[in-house]
Amino acid sequence: MAKELKDLTKRADNYSQWYNDLVIKADLAEQSAVRGCMVIKPYGYAIWEKMQRILDDMFKATGHVNAYFPLLIPKSFLSREAEHVEGFAKECAVVTHHRLMNDPEGKGVVVDPSARLDEELIIRPTSETIIWNTYKNWISSYRDLPILCNQWANVMRWEMRTRMFLRTAEFLWQEGHTAHATREEAEAEAVKMLNVYGDFAENYMAVPVIKGVKSANERFAGALETYTIEAMMQDGKALQSGTSHFLGQNFAKAFDVKFINKNNELEYVWATSWGVSTRLMGALIMTHSDDNGLVLPPKLAPIQVVIVPIYKSQEQLDTINNRVNPMVEKLRSMGISVKYDNADNKRPGFKFADYELKGVPVRLVLGARDLENGTIEVMRRDTLEKSTVAIDGIEEYVKTLLDDIQDNIFKKALNHRSEMTTYVDTYDEFKKQIEKGGFIMAHWDGTPETEEKIKEETKATIRCIPLEGDKTPGVCMVTGKPSKQRVVFARNY
Amino acid sequence: MAKELKDLTKRADNYSQWYNDLVIKADLAEQSAVRGCMVIKPYGYAIWEKMQRILDDMFKATGHVNAYFPLLIPKSFLSREAEHVEGFAKECAVVTHHRLMNDPEGKGVVVDPSARLDEELIIRPTSETIIWNTYKNWISSYRDLPILCNQWANVMRWEMRTRMFLRTAEFLWQEGHTAHATREEAEAEAVKMLNVYGDFAENYMAVPVIKGVKSANERFAGALETYTIEAMMQDGKALQSGTSHFLGQNFAKAFDVKFINKNNELEYVWATSWGVSTRLMGALIMTHSDDNGLVLPPKLAPIQVVIVPIYKSQEQLDTINNRVNPMVEKLRSMGISVKYDNADNKRPGFKFADYELKGVPVRLVLGARDLENGTIEVMRRDTLEKSTVAIDGIEEYVKTLLDDIQDNIFKKALNHRSEMTTYVDTYDEFKKQIEKGGFIMAHWDGTPETEEKIKEETKATIRCIPLEGDKTPGVCMVTGKPSKQRVVFARNY
């Protein structure tokens, strides 16, 4: 067994440590010299690139285009929208100077006090303000609408406690910012993008999510409505995985963005914004992986199939190479990414453990005996099951198996979520249940006060008010007041 | 003629103003509220995305992988490499605080003085320092080498004079950073990536470039050798379009990155770095465009073909639509990006001018008369020539035409460069010739002093010492001392 694997903490022993170990040992990311900022290593970045490419195609298929807006935001912009400043203007990186100079005492470089900026600049924590300041110049008539822009960018929030991928000071994300002529169109856009996120999470990441609306307490600073997809991790905690905001006319008012509507009247523009980030990497890792390492959905795995030869002589290796090379070519022509690892500086056992750790969905092993028998050994990473199958037609077999693994890990996660979801009607029962983790479906009277009380007493928050499913009214488990429908409570990342 | 086009300055009147006008009017980019930082608009970003995709594929085909390193660099890192700090630690954005607070006087937000960072952080002007600080942990043996990483990122240099795409405070780029076991391998890598850049410039951007080596004065701060591709703009000025640096062991020494080589000896690691940026957009615009607007090479045009119908009644439009729809489908199936603009809120003349301004390589116009005759009008953007051809087989015709346009604009640029390149043997002649612009091939004695004198007296710099072409020795035009070969002089952007 490989050294790296031996040191991986077991989930049952310490889930949090297991996660940290796995991020490091699977070569996904590591801490940098800058507090709270991570280095995304090539293997981790390859997964993020696959996510980006798929999401970008989905955005374009729904009519969006990409653009790029400045990294730095004038400090005064943040104060324009009253709620936004409360949410974002506090813990952030502030640029105050634009020059360094040689230290007069000869010790490296120091800030040049004469190069102080007239107005401080903030590294964007999110870009609504700079973008709406730009849209002001792009919009004058209903003919200029809608604007459907997205940007892929880095953003920075000076978080006190950071964890790789889940909460880092700098992170990578996409942020869509759209402008519309009517309230209805903007609301429909926010819901459309929520559905794109839900589709991506379930059909590519194989992560089941509940789509819903945030309560007022959990809304984005400056939004009238925040839609969210909420996933459940293996430890029963919730992870907010993507949000889509209906911003009303708040930012249009803050930046004075008006248009002439079809009735020739001047009106403020309606807005949405929506984003997912490298946090999705955390959701992916924590939903599927196990004590042997990563488990990746085939649709996002940088390497979908690895082939390892077993041989005792160069002659045997040559024979195996001759059989494997056309197999690799065939698999690639089918759009499957394959690595043939016939490097001779590592033993097969080491390779097996390493590819398990890295979550490669399918492993094929071919030895001299197999060649004689016309067979090949297949191992699927999700169940670790091995089987020996005919080498003829292996390419089609692998293709079907990859689809099967994609389906299976989604179902497994869905089953896990079902098992960890309980319906609770009393607050006493709630307090007991929340200690066991998972989603609790309970009635709530709709007030911020009750939500706050529950959070203080149990550390559970309302993850969302689900858009689909059971809408039966009831009474609040805490106050006994009327409730329109059950909402999802959980402790969360 | 469209309003936008009417206002475009002519190149002959004011080349610099023509460029600025064109960037704005073709919807490529605009100034933002932050000094020196631009907004890249969707049409401009679509061209950049095409560049990114092609370059990224070329990097991967040459064995590179992507990763991501932090935006912020501890101030002390910049001082580690003596030359690097001189080149990059001066005009840069300095983060000194990590929190804002409500203004005690009630006016928005102010910097919280208690949130001063122990060590200031610099927004990366380039990432050698933070990356080599990271590589230290990745490398211990020759088995860990080579490391072939690239990152796509934003960087910031506090430039005093900025021009959109050509020189902006924030810009987008890719930076490759590789680590090698031997000097030879690192040098070969630097040259390999120079050739990738040259291939991209000539075969995709249709911009002819001279590949060469920089003189010591023009070298990257911290490099032993800087390779460059130099392009000539229509006004005869040079534009440095991409650089690849052989860094020797400088950064390995600065960050103490050693490895055990095959002879079991401890040795410093050898390095390269290489980058191209959104500056390439400036090269693209200034090489091909004309007084009617952008001219884009088909391989980078977001829309390669636009089809405009001419009709007098809905019935005519319906007939045209029926003929065009399968044409669009066929063109798309051939991998050609097509826009069918049958919107009825703009007149054909407006559409024609707009697509010319945006540089769409091929325009097809179809009217009722054409349908009767079985013909279609084809306009190619590079020459503005119109012709009427048979509608049957138009798709193949267009495909061939796109290839032809790609070739033609490259040849046109190459001819322009030839016409604007002169061989000069005396300094007097040089001084006269440099006023006319263009590349001057002249002998130089190889000293920084002579180069500096020429720069001071003529504003011309040595763009590069060409790697290919005439290598005949001679005597320096200024000092009469021996010269190994002619070098390229020009005024530059």
Distance CA A391, CA A411 (A): 29
Mutation pick from A45, A56, A119, A173 vs chain B, by most beta carbons of B within 10 Å, is: A45
Q: Which two tokens stand for residue A367?
A: 């030895």
Distance CA A151, CA B45 (A): 10
Residues in chain A closer than 8 A to B303 (CB atoms): none
Q: pLDDT, tens digit, for every residue of A157-184? A: 998 899 999 999 999 999 999 999 999 9
Cα angle for residues A72, A73, A78 (degrees, 5° grid): 150
CB B437 within 8 A of CB B237: yes
A41, A93, A95 ranked by CB distance to B67: nearest: A41
Whether A477 has a pLDDT exceeding 90, the answer reads: yes
Sign of CA dihedral B464, B465, B467, B471: positive
Residues in chain B closer than 8 A to A332 (CB atoms): none
* 8-state DSSP, A293: B
Per cent of chain A over pLDDT 70 is: 99
Q: pLDDT, tens digit, for every residue of B28-50? A: 999 999 999 999 999 999 999 99
Cα angle for residues A153, A159, A160 (degrees, 5° grid): 160
Query: What average pLDDT is seen over chain A?
Result: 95
Whether B390 and chain A come into contact, CB under 8 Å, resolves to no
Whether A400 has a pLDDT exceeding 80, the answer reads: yes
Whether B45 and chain A come into contact, CB under 8 Å, resolves to yes
Which A positions 345-384 lie with beta carbon below 8 A of chain B?
A: 345
pLDDT (0 to 100) of residue A6? 62
User: Which residues, in sequence order, are CB contacts of A201 under 8 Å at separation 6+?
Assistant: A207, A208, A209, A229, A231, A241, A242, A280, A283
Which B positions 145-204 lie with beta carbon below 8 A of chain A?
A: 149, 153-154, 156, 158, 170, 172
B34, B85, B101 ranked by CB distance to A109: nearest: B85
> Is there a contact between A32 and B134 if contact means CB atoms under 8 Å apart?
yes
| DSSP codes joined into one string, A372-441 | HHTEEEEEETTT--EEEEESTTHHHHHHHHHHHHHHHHHHHHHHHHHHTEEE--SHHHHHHHHHT-SEEE
Rounded mean pLDDT, A403-417: 98
Establish whether the linkage from the previous residue to B302 is cis, with ω within 30° of 0.
no
Establish whether the linkage from the previous residue to A146 is cis, with ω within 30° of 0.
yes
* 8-state DSSP, A213: E
Rounded mean pLDDT, A368-388: 96
Q: pLDDT, tens digit, for every residue of B453-485? A: 999 999 999 999 999 999 999 999 999 999 999
A42, A78, A97 ranked by CB distance to B65: nearest: A42
Please, which pLDDT band fits residue A5 given cuts at 50, 70 and 90?
low
pLDDT (0 to 100) of residue A83? 77
> Is there a contact between B37 and A72 if contact means CB atoms under 8 Å apart?
yes
Rounded mean pLDDT, B160-167: 94
> Is there a contact between A99 and B94 if contact means CB atoms under 8 Å apart?
yes
> Is there a contact between B100 and A90 if contact means CB atoms under 8 Å apart?
yes
Whether B287 has a pLDDT exceeding 90, the answer reads: yes
Q: What is the DSSP pairing of strand A147-156 with strand A170-180?
A: antiparallel
pLDDT (0 to 100) of residue B5? 56
The Cα of A33 is separated from the nearest Cα of chain B by a number of Å equal to: 8
pLDDT-wise least confident of A12-16, B341-345, B384-388, B449-453: B341-345
Whether B393 and chain A come into contact, CB under 8 Å, resolves to no
Residues in chain B closer than 8 A to A154 (CB atoms): 71, 153-154
Please, which pLDDT band fits residue A2 given cuts at 50, 70 and 90?
very low
Residues in chain A closer than 8 A to B108 (CB atoms): 75-76, 78-79, 85
* Inter-chain contacts counted by CB atoms under 8 A, chains A and B: 187
Whether B17 has a pLDDT exceeding 90, the answer reads: yes
> Is there a contact between A96 and B92 if contact means CB atoms under 8 Å apart?
no
**What distances in angstroms separate CA B224 from CA B160, B251, B270, one per listed residue?**
27, 11, 11
Phi-psi region of B313 (alpha: psi -120 to 50; beta: other; left: phi over 0): beta
Could you identify the residue written with the tokens 């005949």? B472
pLDDT (0 to 100) of residue A1? 39
Helix, coil or strand: residue B5: helix
Rounded mean pLDDT, B229-253: 97
Range list of H helices, B95-172: 128-138
Whether A272 has a pLDDT exceeding 50, the answer reads: yes
Whether B40 and chain A come into contact, CB under 8 Å, resolves to yes
Distance CA A251, CA A88 (A): 14
Closest-approach residue (CA) in chain A for B97: A94
Q: Which of A335, A406, A331, A343 is nearest to A376 (CA)?
A: A331
Please, which pLDDT band fits residue A88 given cuts at 50, 70 and 90?
confident
User: Which residues, in sequence order, are CB contacts of B223 under 8 Å at separation 6+?
Assistant: B245, B246, B247, B248, B250, B273
B40, B92, B121 ranked by CB distance to A34: nearest: B121
Q: Which two tokens stand for residue B74?
A: 């501890």
Please, which pLDDT band fits residue B388 given cuts at 50, 70 and 90?
very high
Q: Which of A35, A6, A39 is nearest to A23 (CA)?
A: A39
Could you identify the residue written with the tokens 């780029």? B173
Q: Which two tokens stand for residue B394?
A: 């138009």
* DSSP H or E segment with residue A443: strand A439-443
Distance CA A29, CA B401 (A): 47
Interhelix angle B279-288/B394-419, rounded to 10 degrees, is 90
Q: Which of B271, B266, B100 is nearest to B180 (CA)?
A: B271
pTM: 0.96
> Is there a contact between A100 and B94 if contact means CB atoms under 8 Å apart?
yes
Which B positions 65-124 lie with beta carbon below 8 A of chain A?
A: 65-79, 85, 89-101, 108-109, 111, 120-123
A79, A143, A154 ranked by CB distance to B154: nearest: A154
The Cα of A105 is separated from the nearest Cα of chain B by a number of Å equal to: 14
**What distances in angstroms separate CA A147 from CA A144, A150, A270, B338, B350, one per listed residue?**
7, 10, 10, 21, 22
**What distances in angstroms separate CA B362 from CA B6, B21, B227, B387, B402, one per listed residue?**
21, 23, 36, 11, 7
Whether B32 and chain A come into contact, CB under 8 Å, resolves to yes
Query: What average pLDDT is seen over chain B?
Result: 95
> Is there a contact between A34 and B93 if contact means CB atoms under 8 Å apart?
no
* DSSP H or E segment with residue A457: helix A448-458
Distance CA B95, CA A97 (A): 7
> Is there a contact between B34 and A72 if contact means CB atoms under 8 Å apart?
yes
> Is there a contact between B100 and A69 if contact means CB atoms under 8 Å apart?
no
pLDDT (0 to 100) of residue B1? 39
* 8-state DSSP, B141: B
Whether A413 has a pLDDT exceeding 80, the answer reads: yes
Q: Which two tokens stand for residue B389?
A: 């051809």
pLDDT (0 to 100) of residue B64? 98
Backbone angles phi, psi at A343, to 5 degrees: -60, 140
Please, which pLDDT band fits residue B107 given cuts at 50, 70 and 90?
confident
> Is there a contact between B149 and A42 if contact means CB atoms under 8 Å apart?
yes
Backbone angles phi, psi at A264, to 5 degrees: 65, 30
Mutation pick from A80, A94, A278 vs chain B, by most beta carbons of B within 10 Å, is: A94
> Is there a contact between B98 and A93 if contact means CB atoms under 8 Å apart?
yes
The CA dihedral of A380, A381, A384, A388, to the nearest 10 degrees, is 20
Which A positions 328-347 lie with beta carbon below 8 A of chain B?
A: 345
Which A positions 458-487 lie with beta carbon below 8 A of chain B?
A: none
